[in-house]
Amino acid sequence: MKRVLLICSVVAAFAGCSDPQSPGVEYMPDMYRSPSIEAYEEEKLFADHSGARMPAEGSIPRGFMPYQYENTTEGYEMAGKELKNPLPYSEELVSEGKEIYGKFCVHCHGKKGKGDGAVASNPKWPGPPPAYDGARLKDLPAGKIFHSITYGKGLMGPHAGQINQEDRWKLVYYVQTLQGKDLKAMQAEAGSDQKEMEEENKEDNNTENQDA
């Protein structure tokens, strides 16, 4: 009887111990932990011991179109001039953009894009981003918005790794509504007389570049 009790308590001590530093006992883990590399596993095969590998340099996923403009001031200006939203405007896209905005942007830029999100108002954050409908960003063209989300701008980091291109274009639509743009009217105009619109745009952008 004594011995049984002793064994029982030893087993209990081992199995039941709840040390938060240890995941606990695994019994015969042969099929739990297979030899293939799992996500985020350490792998001694590679020099840096990281199981997660980068794709070979220059490789492009199927069906993926890399972003054409470089991360320079020239690239930024060119994108502003040339890039157009490839997604045809619809209200659905704007509301999808709003949803994405709520996940990825709202904590800095704030609900209405006034630059009053929780992180931006944290005293440790150097300075809030400018309001979308303020003097600095009110007339930012779609291409520049896309460019800035892709590569980041100043203190804002790049978001290309988190948000794919299509979602970024949806975001552009939503940011434009926060800028106070009447997208429907813009779209209608573009549809009715595209060529004229483009020329106008060019002029607009030229004047813009001078003070941007």
Residues that bind another protein (CB under 8 A): 5, 8-9, 11-12, 14-16, 18, 20-27, 29, 31-34, 36, 38-40, 42, 48, 50, 72-73, 102-104, 106-108, 117-119, 122-130, 134-136, 152, 154-159, 161-163, 210-212
Question: Please, what is the minimum distance in Å from the beta carbon of residue 32 to another protein?
Answer: 4
CA distance 201 to 80: 10
Q: Does 171 bind ligand HEC (CB under 6 A)?
A: yes
CA distance 159 to 165: 10
Question: Please, what is the minimum distance in Å from the beta carbon of residue 44 to ligand HEC?
Answer: 20
Structure tokens at 151: 């590569």
Q: Does 122 bind ligand HEC (CB under 6 A)?
A: yes
Residues contacting 130, CB < 8 A, separation 6+:
115, 136, 137
67: left (phi over 0), alpha (psi -120 to 50) or beta: beta
* Residues within window 91-110 making contact with ligand HEC, judged by CB under 6 A: 104-105, 107-109
Binding partner selected for residue 51 from ligand HEC, another protein, none, CB under the kind-specific 5 to 8 Å limit: none
Binding partner selected for residue 63 from another protein, ligand HEC, none, CB under the kind-specific 5 to 8 Å limit: none
Task: Name which of 146, 154, 137 is nearest 211 in CA terms.
Answer: 137
**Contact (CB, 8 A) for 165 and 63:** no
* Residues within window 131-160 making contact with ligand HEC, judged by CB under 6 A: 137, 140, 144-145, 148-149, 153-156, 159
Considering beta carbons, is residue 66 or 127 the nearer one to another protein?
127
Question: Please, what is the minimum distance in Å from the beta carbon of residue 65 to another protein?
Answer: 18
Residues contacting 79, CB < 8 A, separation 6+:
69, 143, 144, 146, 147
